[in-house]
Chain A
Amino acid sequence: MRTARRLAPVVALAALVVFLAASLPGAMDASRRRIKNAGRERTLGADEALATLRGQDYVAAIRRIRDELPEDSEYLLLVGTQGGADVFVRFDLAPRRAIFGGTAADVSRNVTLSRLHALPAWTVVPRLDGPGPRLVATRLLAEKGALP
Chain B
Amino acid sequence: MTGGAPLFAGLGGVLLFLAAGRGLVELLPALRERPRAARFAYSYLLGVAAVAGSTYLLGIAFDIRIGRGVVLAPVVLLVVSGLVARLLRRRTPARRSPTIHPPRAGVFAARFAFGVGAFIALGLFAAALTKPDLGWDGEMSWSAAARWVRADRSVTPRALADARVYVTHPRYPILMPLAQVAVQETFDLGDDRRAVKPLYAAFFPALLLVLFDLARRHAGTCAAALGTVALAVVPVLAFNDAGGTDGTFSDVPLGAFFGAGFLLLLGRARTSEAVAAGLLLGAAVLTKNEGLPFAVAALGAVAFLAITGRPAERRTRLTALGLAAAAVLGAGLALRVWQSNIPQRWDEDYAGRLGEVSLAKEARVRLPLLPGAVMREMRSREDLAGFPLAAALILAAGAGGLRRRIVPPIVLCLTTCFGAYVLALLLSNWGGVEQVHPTWARFLVMQLSLPLGVLLALALRTGWRARLSFSRKGEQNGVTRVRGATEPRSRGRRRVLLLFLAFATVPVLLVWLFASYRRGQVSAAPRAAARTVTGSTESPWKEDASLTGSLDEPAEGSSVQGSLAVRGWARLPDRDLEVTVFIDGNERASVTHRRLSRPDVQNALPMLGDCASAGYEFVYAFSAKDSGPHEVEVLFRTRDGRERHYPARGFIWRN
The stretch of B230-238, B412-420, B533-541, B620-628 that contacts the partner chain = B230-238
- Residue B123 at the chain A interface, CB threshold 8 Å: yes
In the complex, whether A143 has a CB less than 8 A from a CB of chain B is no
Judged by a CB distance under 8 angstroms, whether B430 is at the interface is no
Cβ-based interface call for B387 (8 A): yes
Q: Is B23 an interface position by the 8 A CB rule? A: no
Closest Cβ–Cβ distance, residue B222 to chain A (whole Å): 10
With A43-B2, A46-B194 given, can you name 13 additional A-B contacts, CB distance below 8 Å? Answer: A9-B462, A34-B239, A35-B123, A42-B4, A43-B4, A44-B130, A45-B1, A49-B131, A49-B193, A50-B132, A94-B151, A95-B157, A103-B610
Determine whether the beta carbon of B460 is less than 8 Å from that of A27.
no
* Residues of B in contact, count (CB < 8 Å): 77
Q: Give 9 A-B contacts (CB < 8 Å), ordered by A residue.
A: A12-B394, A12-B401, A12-B459, A34-B239, A46-B6, A49-B130, A72-B151, A95-B150, A99-B165
- Measured between C-beta atoms, what is the minimum distance from A85 to chain B in Å? 10
- Pick the contact of A16 from B232, B394, B401, B612 — CB < 8 Å? B394
B422 at the interface (CB under 8 A from A): no
Contact partner, A12, options B148, B157, B462, Cβ 8 Å: B462
Q: Contact at B168–A23, with CB atoms within 8 Å?
A: no
Residue on B with the closest CB to A41?
Answer: B130
A1-38, CB < 8 A from B: 6, 8-16, 18-20, 22-24, 26-28, 30-35, 37-38
For the complex, what is the distance from the CA of A83 to the CA of B1, rounded to whole Å? 29
Question: Which A residues form the contact surface with B (CB < 8 A)?
Answer: 6, 8-16, 18-20, 22-24, 26-28, 30-35, 37-39, 41-46, 49-50, 52-53, 71-72, 74, 77, 81-84, 87-88, 90-91, 94-95, 97-100, 103, 105
A31→B233 contact, CB < 8 A: no
Contact, CB under 8 Å: B463 / A24: no
Asked whether any CB of chain A lies closer than 8 Å to the CB of B400, the reply is: yes
Q: Does residue B470 face the partner (Cβ distance < 8 Å to A)?
A: yes
Q: Which of A11, A26, A82 contacts B613 (CB 8 A)?
A: A82
Q: Is B147 an interface residue (CB 8 A)?
A: yes
Q: How far is the CA of A87 from the CA of B346 in the complex (A)?
A: 12
Q: Which residues of A contact B119 (CB under 8 A)?
A: 28, 31
Instruction: Enumerate chain B residues within 8 angstroms of A87, measured Cβ to Cβ.
Output: 136, 139-140, 168
- Collect the chain B residues with CB atoms within 8 Å of residue A34's CB: 123-124, 126-127, 239
**B159 and A95 within 8 A (CB):** yes
What separation, in Å, do the CA atoms of A28 and B229 have in the docked complex?
12
The reply to whether B3 and A43 contact each other, CB–CB distance below 8 Å, is yes
Within the complex, the shortest CB–CB distance from B496 to chain A, in Å, comes to: 19
- Given contacts A13-B464, A95-B147, A95-B159, A37 and B394 within 8 Å (CB-CB): no
List residues of B (279-331) whose CB comes within 8 Å of A's CBs.
none
**B467 in contact (CB, < 8 A):** yes
A54-B432 Cα distance, complex, nearest whole Å: 33
- A98, B194: Cβ atoms closer than 8 Å: no
Contacting residues, chain B, for A41 (C-beta < 8 A): 3, 130-131
- Give the complex CA separation of A44 and B5 in angstroms: 10
A23:B386 contact, CB within 8 angstroms: yes
Cβ–Cβ contact A9 & B148, under 8 A = no
Expressed in whole angstroms, the Cα–Cα distance for A43 and B466 within the complex equals 52
Does B3 lie within 8 Å of A83, measured CB to CB? no
Q: Are B193 and A32 in contact (CB under 8 A)?
A: no
In angstroms, Cα B123 to Cα A33, docked, is 8
Closest Cβ neighbor of A77 among chain B residues: B166
Chain B residue with the shortest CB-CB distance to A104: B610
Q: Tell whether, in the assembled complex, residue A23 and residue B233 are in contact, meaning their CB atoms are under 8 Å apart.
A: yes
For residue A43, which residues in chain B have a CB less than 8 angstroms away from its CB?
Answer: 2-4
Per the bound structure, the CA–CA distance linking A74 and B393 in Å amounts to 55
